Amino acid sequence: MRVREQDNLTMNVGKVGIVRGRDWPRHVSLLLAIAVVVFPLAYAALISTQSNTQINNFQLTPGSSLGTHFDQVWNGANLGRLMWNSVVQAVLITVIKTVLSLLAGLAFVYFSFRGKWIVFFLVLITLMMPTEVMILAMFRLVSDLGLKNSMAGLVIPFAASATGAFLFRQHFANLPKDLSEAAQIDGASPLQFLFKILIPLSWNVIGALAVIQFVFVWNMYLWPVLIVSDPNSQVVQQGLERLKSTDTGITYGPLMLAALLASLPPALVFIALQKPFMSGFAVSADK
Amino acid sequence: MGIVASIIVAALLGALSFGYKSVREGAMGAALGLLGGSVILGSLRLCTFAADAASTEAVLGIGLAGAFAWMFGAGTRAVLGQRSADLGSGENRSGTYKLGWYWPWLLLSPTLLILILFLYLPAFQTFTLSTKLANLTSPRTADRCLSNFSDLMVESPTRIAMLPLVAIAMIWGVALWSKRSTPGTRSHSIAKTLQPMGILAVVFAFYFMFETESGTGGYRLIYLNTIIISLSIVALAMTVGLAMAYLAFGRIRGITVYRTLLIWPYAISPPVAGILFFMMFNATAGIFAFLADKIGIEFPNYTASAGMARGVIVLASVWKLLGYNLLFFLAGLQTVPRAQIEAATLDGANAWQRFRLIVMPALGPIAFFLLVTNLTYSFFEVYGTVDLLTKGAPASSTSVAIYEIIRVGVNNQNIGKGAAQSVLLFLAVIGLTAWQFRQSEGRVSYAGS
């Protein structure tokens, strides 16, 4: 008797026939869970097509206002521009942070130098320093540097992190030692070693970090609210706030459409990089 | 008198945190404690004990001296320990590059520069600002000693001195009890169950230390909001996340699609979560109001009741966090030892016993990591949800700590008061992280930033 390939939580020794039949309740409960999780989005999608009168009448079929709403949001509220700002910010931070973290990981694993443990501590301690608790001082500092209302002010303070450095340090430390020995014998410089050998072996980790960073930056709200007041330099999350707090009575449709549009890019990044993301997690979880 | 008291407290706590196995060790600890105490009191220029300082400030000053003494002692101990561990663990592995000394520094310099300029410097400035009267837009400041802090607390120095001591005494007492009692006896098991409650003693102590301004509720209300909202978010997000992970674990047709759909809300932003729940729970146009109307119930306006408003914020945040928790719990479930599950099943253990005795211990590190990340989320990221849902209404009952910091520091432009509140939050985070490090002993995974 062939025991079906199993997970390690349920044990159904010798009950193959019953197991097949028992898949049904799980499908149903999974679908139910998904229905609950997806409901707020589906509801928002429905609302985004309706005019205020239709919403107040609780019409359960899609309305026909999607086009006007899109025009209102994209051109009227300038959401296109704001989304572009968010894309630029998220891509810049993701790329710079990944590169800097790779360099730091390289230094931590493949060099031994005086004062290494002090540097290590200096970086480690920042893990318990969330920017939010020092946000007022940061705001003052960045204003003094003249970076208010600029992309630099949105990007530079977040361009390095302990998380990324430690992630690559951990990953590199688990690679075979022979790699760097062989590279040195071949006369490769540290940077050549990084780009030719380490990076090709790290795509999963890079992918996982990229998803986390992109989503983190895209969803950033408090920092942009503080330092960007110029309506053309704001990011998408701020646009949502502006749409909601209009003086002249709220129209729900455009607001819901904007919320959906603002959720699209991180979702696309997540789905595109899902595979490295998941395996990156599996890698990190069993350490 | 205040100065004498702080010298004694600092020396004692320094020795306690550093170690007192030998006279030499104890003396070293006391010296470190005195150093720590004088660093902080010196940088405040002993203002807490000045003639015009409030008596609560003197108590805070002694407390600060003690805290710094503890930090210096425990910090030195940790650094010494780590250093010897580093030397022993073969960090100097073969295959390291032997090039100019500047190479590693060159590689690390951009990271270090940004961390120092945008984390260490503002962290330091937050502490200095918290002792000042400062306006957001003007560069001039005036010294306020610790009155930004004492303004947040009740005007009773004895209460501020006694409450933390009582909490600490309770924690130590229970720890001692469980150590002394014989394992297996009733008294031991009572002590063991009481031990995790120690955190409650601290939570309550702080509750009674914060002031209640009549009418507005004062900072005690903010503290209460933060505790209620963050604990509810964490408890719900973790239990539901684990339940979903159970559901989505293992092989079944189409599982990758199911998982993607369940994890995806992780990518949604806190403000968007706020907007979506604002719509659903809207009292005039929301779907729940409509359904309630259908069955003849008047749907309450969530912005009018403190409980409902907090509830909607919690629901929105839990919904947003679920995907993240599911992801980590799924990874954690992979590590559950399968052989033990099989053996337990054959021995007749039921599902709950298998879960409690095998799955829970295996999930421990992941659950702990999630506990801390979820708490950090509910402390900070929740700002976006609150701002889009309630803006702190009704009557500040959804204004959590981070929201209040921005209201005081940015909207009211009183950056010194805001910084003082930030310092309190900072201490909470440091305490949590230290706790996490101790519990997980370096099993750090990666967080969201």
Confidence check: pLDDT of B308 > 60? yes
**pLDDT band for position A16 (50/70/90)?**
very low
Mutation target to probe the A interface, by most A beta carbons within 10 A, among B107, B125, B386 is B107
Using the beta-carbon criterion (under 8 Å), do B111 and A132 form an inter-chain contact?
no
- Give the pLDDT of residue A225: 94
Cα separation values, B372 from A287, B366, B380, Å: 18, 10, 12
pLDDT for B171: 87
Could you tell me whether strands B132-134 and B141-143 are parallel, antiparallel, or unpaired per DSSP bridges? antiparallel
pLDDT digits (tens, 9 = 90+) for B225-243: 999 999 999 999 999 999 9
Per-residue confidence (pLDDT) for residue B85, from 0 to 100: 65
A154 and B CB contact within 8 Å: no
pLDDT computed for residue B190 by the predictor: 86
**pLDDT tens track for A38-50:** 999 999 999 888 8
A29 with A101, same domain: the answer is no
ipTM of the complex: 0.86
Contacts of B431 in chain A (CB under 8 A): none
Contact map slice: B 297-336 vs A, CB within 8 A:
319, 322-323, 327-328, 331-336
A130/B380 Cβ within 8 A: yes
- Alpha helices per DSSP H over B181-217: 186-194, 198-209
Residues B376, B429: contact at Cβ < 8 Å? yes
B1 reaches A (C-beta below 8 A): no
pLDDT in tens, B23-33: 888 899 999 99
Q: In the predicted model, what is the mean pLDDT of residues B6-32? A: 88
Of the partner residues A240, A274, A285, the one whose CB lies closest to the CB of residue B260: A274
Q: How confident is the model at residue A139 (pLDDT cuts 50, 70, 90)?
A: very high
Give the per-residue pLDDT at B394: 85
User: DSSP for B391-444?
Assistant: TT-STTTT--HHHHHHIIIIIS-BHHHHHHHHHHHHHHHHHHHHHHHHHHTT--
Q: Number of Cβ pairs closer than 8 Å across A and B? A: 333
Average pLDDT over residues B403-431: 91
Residues A78 and A122 in one domain: yes
pLDDT, chain A, mean:
84
Domain boundaries, chain B: 1-79, 154-209, 219-440
Domain count, chain A: 2
The residue among A274, A287, A285, A127 whose CA lies nearest residue A208 is A274
Which position has the higher pLDDT, A70 or B193? A70
Cross-chain CB nearest to A117 (options B83, B266, B359): B83
CB-based contact (8 Å) between A146 and chain B?
Answer: no
pLDDT at B135 over 90: no
Which residue(s) pair with B134 in the sheet? B141
**The predicted structure's pLDDT at residue A13:** 43
A180 found inside a domain: yes
Residue A150: inside a domain, yes or no? Answer: yes
Burial B120-143 (b: 16+ CB within 10 A, else e): bebbebbbebbbbbbebeeeeeee
Q: Is A251 on the interface with B (CB under 8 A)?
A: no
Question: In chain A, which residues have their Cβ closer than 8 Å to the Cβ of B249?
Answer: 7, 9
Q: Does A285 score more than 50 pLDDT?
A: no
- pLDDT digit string (tens) for B102-124? 888 999 999 999 999 999 999 99
Of A130, A241, A285, the CB nearest to B271: A241
A122 close contact with B: CB closer than 8 A: yes
- At residue B419, the pLDDT reads 93
Please give the span between the terminal C-alpha atoms of chain A, in angstroms, as a whole number.
36
Tell me what the mean pLDDT of segment A185-192 comes to: 85
How confident is the model at residue B251, as a pLDDT? 76
- Residues A88 and A139 grouped into a single domain: yes
Task: Give yes or no: residues A167 and A278 share one domain.
Answer: yes
CATH of the domain at A260: 1.10.3720.10
CA distance A44 to A52: 13
Q: Which residues in chain A are closer than 8 Å to B402, comparing Cβ atoms?
A: 132, 222
Helix, strand, coil % over all residues of chain A, rounded to 5: 75, 0, 25
Predicted confidence at residue A227, as pLDDT, reads: 93
Scored b (16 or more CB within 10 A) or e, A76-88 reads ebebebbbebbbe
- B residues 101-120 near A, CB within 8 Å? 101, 103-105, 107-108, 110-116, 118-120
The residue among B93, B97, B259 with the most chain A CBs within 10 A of its CB, best to mutate, is B97
Confidence (pLDDT) at B236: 96
Q: Is B403 on the interface with A (CB under 8 A)?
A: no
For residue A253, the chain B residue with the least C-alpha distance is B279
Percent of chain B with pLDDT over 70: 94
In this prediction, residues A241-258 reach a mean pLDDT of: 81
Q: Is the pLDDT of residue A12 over 50?
A: no
* Cβ(A110)–Cβ(A193) below 8 Å: yes
**For a pLDDT cut of 90, what percent of chain B falls above it?**
26
Identify the band that residue A20 occupies on the pLDDT scale cut at 50, 70 and 90. Answer: very low
Does position B442 have pLDDT exceeding 80, yes or no? no
Band of residue A32 on the pLDDT scale cut at 50, 70, 90: very high
SS3 state at A272: helix
- Taking 90 as the threshold, does the pLDDT of residue B315 lie above it? yes
Co-location of A31 and A109 in the same domain: no
- Output the pLDDT for position A22: 67
Burial class (CB in 10 A: 0-12, 13-18, 19+), A130: buried
A44 and A125 both lie in a single domain: no
Whether A35 and chain B come into contact, CB under 8 Å, resolves to no
Q: Are residues A241 and A149 in the same domain?
A: yes
Mutate to test the interface with B, among A4, A5, A8, A13 (most CBs of B within 10 A): A8
What pLDDT, on the 0 to 100 scale, is given for residue B378?
93
B219-440 topology per CATH: MetI-like fold (1.10.3720)
For residue B89, what pLDDT band results from cuts at 50, 70 and 90? very low
Does the pLDDT of residue B266 top 90, yes or no? no
Residue A1 covered by a domain:
no
Q: Is A286 on the interface with B (CB under 8 A)?
A: yes
**What tens digit of pLDDT does each residue of B354-413 get?**
888 888 888 888 888 888 889 989 999 999 999 999 888 788 889 999 999 999 999 888
Interface test with B, best of A5, A9, A98 (most B CBs within 10 A): A9
Q: Is A2 on the interface with B (CB under 8 A)?
A: no
Asked whether A274 and A201 are in contact (CB, 8 A), the reply is no
Q: Can you give the pLDDT at residue B291? A: 85
Higher pLDDT, B19 or B381: B381
Give the model confidence (pLDDT) of B291-304 as tens digits: 888 888 888 888 88
Greater model confidence, B442 or A126: A126
Of A9, A108, A219, the CB nearest to B269: A219
Q: What is the mean pLDDT of residues A142-162?
A: 93
Residues of B in Cβ contact (< 8 Å) with A23 = 252-253
- What is the pLDDT confidence band of residue A247, given thresholds at 50, 70 and 90? low
How many percent of chain A have pLDDT more than 90? 37
Q: What gap in Å lies between CA A258 and CA A222, rounded to an integer?
A: 19
In this prediction, residue B403 carries a pLDDT of 94
Chain A nearest CA to B43, separation (Å): 19
Round the average pLDDT of chain B to a whole number and report it: 85
Task: Answer whether residue B165 shows pLDDT above 70.
Answer: yes
Kindly state the tokens that stand for B235: 């408890």
Q: Which domain holds residue A38?
A: 16-48
The helix-helix angle for A79-110 and A236-244 (nearest 10°) equals 140
Instruction: Read off the pLDDT of residues B330-353 as tens digits, 9 standing for 90 and up.
Output: 888 888 888 888 888 888 888 888
pLDDT value at residue A281 = 62
Q: Is B422 on the interface with A (CB under 8 A)?
A: yes
CA distance A155 to chain B (A): 11
B20 touches chain A (CB under 8 A): no
At B85, which amino acid appears?
Answer: A
Using the beta-carbon criterion (under 8 Å), do A140 and B443 form an inter-chain contact?
no
The predicted structure's pLDDT at residue B448: 36
